Amino acid sequence: AYSDVDWAGDPSDRRPTMSFCIFLGDSLISWHSKKQTLTARSSTEAEYRALADTTSEISWIRWLLADLETSHSSPTDLYCDNRSAIPNCPQ
């Protein structure tokens, strides 16, 4: 899964636009893009909100796969490009 946010990209309201895409193998199975409802004070805050939405979608997909009896035993990798939002990442 990949998550990204355009922090304060709209000059009229300064709200971030978040997006994510989720792959199963090489196939794109879910994607979403929306403007966040709140104005973030930093790019890190906006990124955390986007990561939370992406994690929620990942959880839903994993439950769906389990219901279809095709569960995935290994953890799902979630990538973002904001260094301050990644734990233990040198600034």
Check residue 3 and report its DSSP letter.
E
Q: In 25-69, which ranges are E strands?
A: 27-35
- Nearest CA among 66, 64, 36, 39 for reference residue 51: 36
d(CA 81, CA 59): 21
Q: With a cut of 50, say whether residue 90 has pLDDT above it.
A: no
pTM, two decimals, is 0.80
- Nearest CA among 32, 40, 34, 51 for reference residue 15: 40
Q: With a cut of 50, say whether residue 56 has pLDDT above it.
A: yes
Question: pLDDT digit string (tens) for 63-84?
Answer: 999 999 887 788 899 988 876 6
**Three-class SS of residue 74?**
coil
